[in-house]
Amino acid sequence: MQINWQLVIDIAKAVIVFFGILTCIPILVYAERKICAYIQDRRGPNRVGPLGLLQPVADAIKSFFKEDYTPSHVDKVLFTLAPAMAFIAPALVFAVIPFGHLMEIKGYKILPQVFDMNIGILFVLMIASLGGYGLILGGWSSNNKYSLLGGLRASAQMLSYEIAMGLAVISIIMTAGSTRMADIVGVQTQGLWGTCIPAWNIITQPIAFIVFLCTAFAETNRLPFDLAEGDSELIGGYHTEYSSMKFAMFFMGEYLAVLTMSALIVTLFLGGWYFPGITEVGNTSLLNGILSIFVFGTKVGMLVFFFIWTRWTLPRFRYDQLMKLGWKILLPLALFNIILTAILGLR
């Protein structure tokens, strides 16, 4: 029987990427706890294992062994479905993110991207638009006024910030002239004005970068935009009624969303796997491929640090301020940026 090795490689890629991002979640949880502690002048976890490194394991075991309690007044089906939706949506985005340069080993092409879609960036927007459902449905199905308020806030927030995000992405599509993720990275590997400064979109599209960064915080539901959760005013917002693994799913979904958004920002604005002097374009050797994955990982790590840093530095917005920022500042700014891009023809 003939084995289709290309198919095997494709399936293996999907499995490896999925388990890879799952492995990143405990690392993120640990990083968040440690960084938060140092920002607040504490030590952070240091009891479980050396330097507290086994703390995420302890957390996981704790949530596994807690009683999975379903309150009697909830909508059972949606109550179970909501955490799953909150978890799956951000994981799906990784299917179209190119996290390395093409490698060629013994004639087999290995592209470090699960699915090279022609409409990759639109696929990302599509999944991002489904991301809010977990929160909204979790809030509604809990049948609790705080949860309902959390869900209501989540839906309005998603709706308003998605528009600004989409408009920021449109100017990126205009720069790249394509909706394929690989082409968007490809444009950024060229030198700017004939120098060695790479034409990363953060340099050519600073306004789009700022708009996208703000909307990324809102879409991942992190401080300063975590109004759906708002623990000081809404107890826990949409996840007030959740316990045990269902709560852990929401929790993991949030970290997964941070990871996804960081990877997306790296791909769209920070040149993806490209760094001048370290990775080369068109070099299909194994070394170059591994280096490119390493560069991508480092950039994502730095952005994740930025996300955590912001969370423990800025206070929460008020709800009317959030709406004002979304509709009156980010939306006109993104529209202005599109016009500017069209006039200047930035390529």
Site for other proteins in 265-324 (CB under 8 A): none
Stretch that binds other proteins, among 121-129, 197-205, 241-249, 302-310 (CB under 8 A): 121-129
- How many positions of this chain bind other proteins (CB under 8 A)? 28
118 belongs to the binding site for other proteins (CB under 8 A): yes
CA–CA distance, 321 with 224 (Å, rounded to integer):
11
250-274 exposure pattern, b = at least 16 Cβ within 10 A, e = fewer? bbbbbbbbbbbbbbbbbbbbbbbbb
Measured between alpha carbons, how far is 14 from 324 in angstroms, rounded to an integer?
Answer: 40
Residue 175 within binding range of other proteins, rule CB under 8 A: no
Smallest separation, CB 82 to other proteins (Å): 11
CA 223, CA 229: separation in Å to the nearest integer?
Answer: 10
Smaller CB separation from other proteins, 200 or 225: 225
Return the structure tokens found at 21: 């991002």
* Shortest distance in whole angstroms from residue 71 CB to other proteins: 17
The full DSSP string for 39-89 is HTT-----SSSGGGTTHHHHHHHHHHHS-----TTS-HHHHHHHHHHHHHH
Work out whether 95 is an interface residue with other proteins (CB under 8 A): no
- Can you tell me the distance from the alpha carbon of 138 to that of 130, in angstroms, rounded to the nearest whole number? 14
Cβ distance to other proteins smaller for residue 179 or 201: 179
Residue 101 or 239 with smaller CB distance to other proteins: 239
Comparing CB distances to other proteins, the nearer of 151 and 230 is: 151
Question: Among 46, 70, 80, 129, which residue interacts with other proteins (rule: CB under 8 A)?
Answer: 129
CB of 231 to other proteins, least distance (A): 20
Does residue 53 bind other proteins (CB under 8 A)?
Answer: no
Element (H, E) at 174: helix 145-176
Q: Which long-range contacts (CB under 8 A, 24 or more apart) does 291-297 make?
A: 292/100, 292/101, 292/112, 293/99, 293/100, 293/112, 296/99, 296/100, 296/263, 296/266, 296/272, 297/99
Cα 295 from Cα 300, distance rounded (Å):
9
Q: CA 78 to CA 72: how far, in whole Å?
A: 13
Nearer to other proteins, 198 or 237 (CB): 237
At residue 234, the 3 state secondary structure works out as: helix
The Cα 203–Cα 209 span in angstroms is 9
119 binds other proteins (CB under 8 A): yes
CB of 319 to other proteins, least distance (A): 14
CB of residue 126 to other proteins, shortest distance in Å: 5
Looking at 55, 142, 144, 179, which residue binds other proteins (CB under 8 A)?
A: 179
Q: Which stretch binds other proteins (CB under 8 A): 11-19, 38-46, 134-142, 261-269?
A: 134-142
Q: Burial level of 116, CB count in 10 A (0-12/13-18/19+)? A: middle
DSSP category for residue 237: G
Ranges within 136-165 binding other proteins (CB under 8 A):
136-137, 139-141, 148, 151-152, 155-156, 158-159, 162
Q: How far is the CB of 45 from other proteins (least distance, A)?
A: 38
User: At its nearest, how many Å lie between other proteins and the CB of residue 206?
Assistant: 26
The window from 1-9, 53-61, 95-103, 124-132 that contacts other proteins (CB under 8 A) reads 124-132
Nearer residue to other proteins within complex by CB, 99 or 140: 140
Residues that bind other proteins (CB under 8 A): 75, 78, 118-119, 122-123, 125-126, 128-130, 132-133, 136-137, 139-141, 148, 151-152, 155-156, 158-159, 162, 166, 179
